[in-house]
Structure 1
Amino acid sequence: MQMIRDGNLNYKTIFDQASTVSHGVQVNSDNPMQQIQTTYIVFISLCVRAAIEGGLSPDTAYALGDCYIQSIIDCRTVSEAMAIGHTMYEDFIQRVHKYKCSQNVSQTIQSCCDYIQMHIEDELPLQNLAKYFGYTDYYFSRKFKKEMGVSYNEYLKAERIRHSQTLLKTTTLSLQEISAQLHFCSRTYFTDAFKSITGISPADYRQKYKRN
């Protein structure tokens, strides 16, 4: 939990060692799926609390937690639950790390970034967010780029690619379905954007992180 509070990216070794320390929450059941689902639901709840203590906004943390808990409830195999758990842990650490690295960002732009993360599968035209935060399109666009170092559209694309990584690791959605769900104009454009940001194609990424 302290790794999450600190946004410490050197978490992989610690996380891998965790399974040797505890087998999770003890449940009076012979059903291994019930055991691991209960364990991960408790684990997610603890991660949500740690992320908030690390600076992540409660709205974002609770919304993420709810999504991951639902994914755990819906999963059908132990390996699938473990993949979701790993992704969830990495997601919270990376979000807290990102927050701590953006301490000089204004509350308005930070709230905008939180809004994007919570509504990443929605249509998010710049004009709508500018109006939502009380700015003209021109001023909001310049303010966002000045504080974040990238344009609004570049940031949105990167966040959608990051979310697609989670979907590739934790769902069986096709590339076409993920592309449409994240509002890329075509599967080809999604693939090109994914590769330009991650250095690997979405199909290869899914295969690389697939858990048997």
Structure 2
Amino acid sequence: MNTNKELNYMLFVQLEEDFKRTEIKSEFSRYDDIKNGNVEKVKENYEYIKDHYYDGKGMLSDDLLRNNQYHFVTGTGIIARICIDGGMNHDIAYTLSDIYIRRCDKCRKPEEIIDLTGEMMIDFATRMREITKSGSVSLHVRRTVDFIYKNLGEHLTLEMAAEHEKLNPSYLSKLFAKEMKMPIKAFIMKARITTAQNILIFSDFPISEITASLGFSSQSAFSAAFRKFTGMTPMQYRSRFSDEYPFRSLSDKNG
């Protein structure tokens, strides 16, 4: 087991109940802003994080510096994986993650890690913004993608997205399919499944809670959709990655 995996394990096996109660939407919406390259929103999020850094976080060490380091390492790993899902080169994402983890290791004050957290988040978001721009995706489609990720728990439709952008549904449908290489309906499902994959790997949220938070009508509907995309049930997927990411607590009894 390498150092990064050991740190991930030490972080997650000690998660406190308060952290588990954090809503999935609020926990992952900040990651979506980074993935979508929404730099201004990421900066806004960081201003809030600075003043509420310890809210909902378990104390993973009696040493505050180490506690912050453990949280930083895991958060950076999650962001790297999510940015890969969003189109960032695999080697770039994980090398950038390693750079920030080494910087974190050199920090000598808890406050330095909080500052480094903001720098890391903004760096990833800025790179994702450039990736989005280089893909020649129009503003309407980028905003539609952002709208979808922020409302995955809702009963999303083409009409809702079109109303949000003040566009004719037929026009948005054609524009979206042309630029994203898939219909909006398919993109919504893909976004739900890729988000579910990250939640399954990087948390111990029960399957029932993931189902509800991502807008599926039932747990069986979620499992069927997940299997169609991945070839596995949600619990099979979680179990498969348990050796690579051995940080989940054993409290998940609802899968």
The runs of at least 4 consecutive aligned structure 1 residues that moved more than 6 Å come to 16-20, 63-67, 69-72
Q: Normalization by structure 1: what TM-score?
A: 0.62
Partner of 1:56: 37
Partner of 2:77: 86
CA distance in 2, matches of 1:63, 1:191: 35
CA distance in 1, matches of 2:53, 2:59: 12
CA contact (8 A) 2:207 2:234 kept: yes
Q: Normalization by structure 2: what TM-score?
A: 0.53
CA contact (8 A) 1:126 1:152 kept: yes
CA contact (8 A) 2:36 2:146 kept: no
Deviation for aligned residue 1:198: 2.1
CA distance in 2, matches of 1:18, 1:153: 37
Cα distance per residue 1:119-152 (max 9 Å; x no partner): 3334432212101111122221122112211110
CA contact (8 A) 1:56 1:95 kept: no
Q: Please say if 1:136 is aligned against 2:168.
A: yes
Letter in 1 for 2:188: L
CA contact (8 A) 1:161 1:194 kept: yes
CA contact (8 A) 1:184 1:190 kept: yes
**Among 31, 52, 57, the residue aligned to 1:74:** 57
CA contact (8 A) 2:201 2:238 kept: yes
Deviation for aligned residue 1:172: 2.5
Deviation for aligned residue 1:171: 2.8
Relative to structure 1, the CA distance from residue 198 to residue 83 in structure 2 (aligned partners, 3 Å threshold; closer, same or farther) is farther
Letter in 2 for 1:88: I
CA distance in 2, matches of 1:200, 1:194: 7
Q: Please say if 1:189 is aligned against 2:180.
A: no
CA distance in 2, matches of 1:180, 1:172: 15
**Among 199, 206, 223, the residue aligned to 1:174:** 206
Relative to structure 1, the CA distance from residue 107 to residue 155 in structure 2 (aligned partners, 3 Å threshold; closer, same or farther) is same
CA contact (8 A) 1:105 1:147 kept: yes
CA contact (8 A) 1:130 1:137 kept: yes
Give the count of matched residue pairs.
Answer: 170
Aligned residues with identical type, % of pairs: 20
**Among 84, 100, 106, the residue aligned to 2:138:** 106
Higher relative contact order structure (alpha carbons within 8 Å, sequence separation ≥ 6): 2
CA contact (8 A) 2:153 2:213 kept: yes
